[in-house]
A and B are shown apart, each in its own frame.
Chain A
Amino acid sequence: MPRTLINVPQSVPRGTVFEIKTLVSHPMETGFRPDESGRLRPRDIIHTFVCTYNGEEVFRAELFPAIAANPFLSFTAVATESGELAFHWTDDHGAIHTETARITVT
């Protein structure tokens, strides 16, 4: 299970733009590095990140091997209503890791 850090404000005035920061532990193996025997280590990266707000997609990122290990992303969203932010990371094995965060809109 990858470890994640998610930074979302607990409560936001309606209509304002707030910042979301996410970090997930992952080696982001590029597929370009040889191991001790000279063979290339197979590529293993998180290639897609999606953030939904009450089920509606607000942000999506396609990532490539040039993204650093433990990919960090910071982006913004408009506070429309209280509810749930969901974060989905998809890696090269097809595994999807999901985390959620509650937000209260005042």
Chain B
Amino acid sequence: MTEPTRRSLLAAGAALLLVRPAHATPQAMAEAIRAFAEGAAKAQPGRVRLDLPALVENGNSAPLTVAVDSPMTPDTFVRRIAVFNEKNPQPNVAVFHLTPRSGRAVVSTRMRLADSQTIVAVAELSDGTFWSARAEVIVTLAACLEGG
């Protein structure tokens, strides 16, 4: 077993840098939202409430609740709710499919945050309109992307 040399350590460091994934960007998030809303630049702000702590101490698990102000009847209901981020490796977080039998359009989960960033929730109603809300979060300990 040879001692690690300065050269091998540097090479290992470079390899780590190379495999580090590119982060999603606000542009990637905007594209993901457009794909979800099928070309709807019409996702209007409002009717959606996105609750996330403003200050997240542990980015590995941050509680998140999305609520949509809408009746849940067979005529008018929330069809889908999607959550997007701008700085994790991928812009998507989750897509929830609801039905009139859901009763209320309220969903909670826990997400990873790789950095302080903006989170966006978009809701699709049965009448084809899209509504959105955004929340800023500050993360003190980011979700680990590197090994170890």
Q: Footprint of B on A, CB under 8 Å?
A: 17-18, 30, 32-36, 38-40, 53, 56-69, 71-78, 80
Known A-B contacts: A62-B95, A66-B94, A67-B93. Give 13 more (CB < 8 A).
A38-B16, A58-B102, A59-B96, A59-B102, A61-B96, A64-B90, A64-B94, A65-B89, A66-B85, A67-B111, A68-B60, A68-B109, A68-B112
Per DSSP, chain B at the interface is: mixed
> Which chain B residues border A80 with CB–CB below 8 Å?
101
Would you list which residues of chain B between 62 and 100 have a CB under 8 Å from chain A? 62, 72, 85, 88-90, 92-100
Q: Interface of B with A (CB < 8 Å)? A: 12, 15-16, 19, 21, 60-62, 72, 85, 88-90, 92-104, 106-112, 144-148
Q: Is the CB of A72 within 8 A of B110?
A: yes
Roughly how many angstroms separate A6 CA and B144 CA in the complex, as a whole number?
28
| B93 and A77 contact, CB distance less than 8 A | no
Distance of A67 Cα from B97 Cα, bound (Å): 16
Known contacts A59-B102, A78-B102; A65 and B19 CB within 8 A of each other: no
Shortest distance between the CB of B91 and any CB in chain A (Å): 9
